[in-house]
Structure 1
Amino acid sequence: MSKSKSHNVFISHHGKDDDKVQALKHRLNDRGYTIRNYSVDSTKHKDGRRPSDAVIQRHLRRQITWAGTFICLIGKDTHTRKWVNYEIRKAYLQGKKIVGIFTHGNNNVELPEAFKKYGGPTMGWNSIDKLGEIMADKKFPVENPDGSQRTPIYTMAKVKCNK
């Protein structure tokens, strides 16, 4: 497969799942996808000082803006993370494609509350080709962690109101 065009993504995740972010980026790269990841991961840590919540919120909003696809890595404790829920809500408000990917071995874990409300399709760890189709605007499948089809939790339509 030849290299495809670059895809800007934001990968929301629990900080302890950072190794999965790196693995996902490598797997996509191995499949020919050039990924620009705008989320905060171990490759972008600074001096160890924690900024204020307001600074973190501003940074996350800006980074999500640059992403065409918002990916939420769903692991055992992802649903407990306040920043993951914040990121999902911001991605929804910005009209991003929101995709959930279950990390390897986490087939029966709880979805973050914001993902239940605003999320799009979920897929298993081995569905890299389907993720590529979503990023390229070709397909938007909804499936269980094992790859079988599932019914969306919520069906939503966005309505733009004129003032």
Structure 2
Amino acid sequence: MARRNAFYSFHYIPDNWRAAQVRNMGVLEGNQPASDNDWEKVKQSGNSAIKNWIDAQLRGRSCTVVLIGSGTAGRPWINYEIEKSWADGKGVVGIYIHGLQNREGRQSVKGSNPFRGLIADGVLLSATVKAYDPPFASSQYVYGHIKNNLATWVEEAIAIRQKH
């Protein structure tokens, strides 16, 4: 099975360290993260520039992987990434990453499901899109669980999207 090209959606400030762990597993081809300076330039250019940047990042991706941290749910740009991905026919899957350690070696609290209440193309995403929560307390085991299952979860997400 060829590696899929994925877009990673996450709340940057608290979760970039955790997101980098998932991105660097090498299971999927992924978008390159924006540097702090690049993202600040995009943000300063306004909402249409942010939408254009996100749209460009989504091009050529087969799936959006939403890395769910403590504050991911309800963020406007994450909602946009999810809804745009679904509207464009991409698979969408969520993975809770609160069990991974940050750069200080700390885990986080589990956040809410970011798909709750979102409707895209008439589909209630919380009833359709899966969000996986690794069943381990140890960051090392959480990491291993994500690494061992990520490709399967992405394939499943793509198959689910093709049915809807």
Q: How many angstroms does 1:67 deviate by?
A: 1.0
Distance 1:34 1:80, change over 3 A: closer
Tell me the C-alpha RMSD between the 2 structures. 2.9
State whether residues 68 and 98 of structure 2, in contact with CA within 8 Å, keep that contact through their aligned partners in structure 1: no
In the alignment, which of 101, 109, 112 is matched to residue 110 of structure 1? 112
Query: Take 1:85 and 1:110, find their aligned partners in 2: how far apart are those partners?
Result: 13
Q: How many angstroms does 1:96 deviate by?
A: 0.9
In the alignment, which of 2, 7, 12 is matched to residue 10 of structure 1? 7
In the alignment, which of 38, 43, 58 is matched to residue 46 of structure 1? 38
Q: How many angstroms does 1:34 deviate by?
A: 4.9
Q: How many angstroms does 1:45 deviate by?
A: 4.1
| Counterpart residue identity of residue 118, structure 1 | L
Query: Take 1:121 and 1:128, find their aligned partners in 2: how far apart are those partners?
Result: 17
Give 1 or 2: higher helix fraction: 2
Structure 2: gaps of 5 or more residues: 100-107, 135-141, 158-162
**TM-score for the superposition, normalised by structure 1:** 0.67
In the alignment, which of 131, 142, 158 is matched to residue 150 of structure 2? 131
| Counterpart residue identity of residue 129, structure 1 | N
1:63-109 superposed Cα distances (whole Å, 9 cap, x missing partner):
21321111001111101311000100001101111110001336742
Query: What is the percentage of aligned positions where both structures have the same residue?
Result: 21
**TM-score for the superposition, normalised by structure 2:** 0.66
Aligned pair count? 132
Distance 1:76 1:104, change over 3 A: closer
- Identify the range of structure 1 (9-18 vs 46-55) with the bigger mean alpha-carbon deviation: 46-55
> In structure 1, what is the equivalent of residue 74 of structure 2?
80
| Counterpart residue identity of residue 148, structure 2 | D
State whether residues 69 and 110 of structure 2, in contact with CA within 8 Å, keep that contact through their aligned partners in structure 1: no
Q: How many angstroms does 1:13 deviate by?
A: 0.5
Query: Take 2:39 and 2:50, find their aligned partners in 1: how far apart are those partners?
Result: 15
List 4+ stretches of structure 1 deviating above 6 A. Answer: none
Structure 1: gaps of 5 or more residues: 141-156, 159-163
State whether residues 96 and 110 of structure 2, in contact with CA within 8 Å, keep that contact through their aligned partners in structure 1: no
- Identify the range of structure 1 (94-103 vs 53-62) with the bigger mean alpha-carbon deviation: 53-62
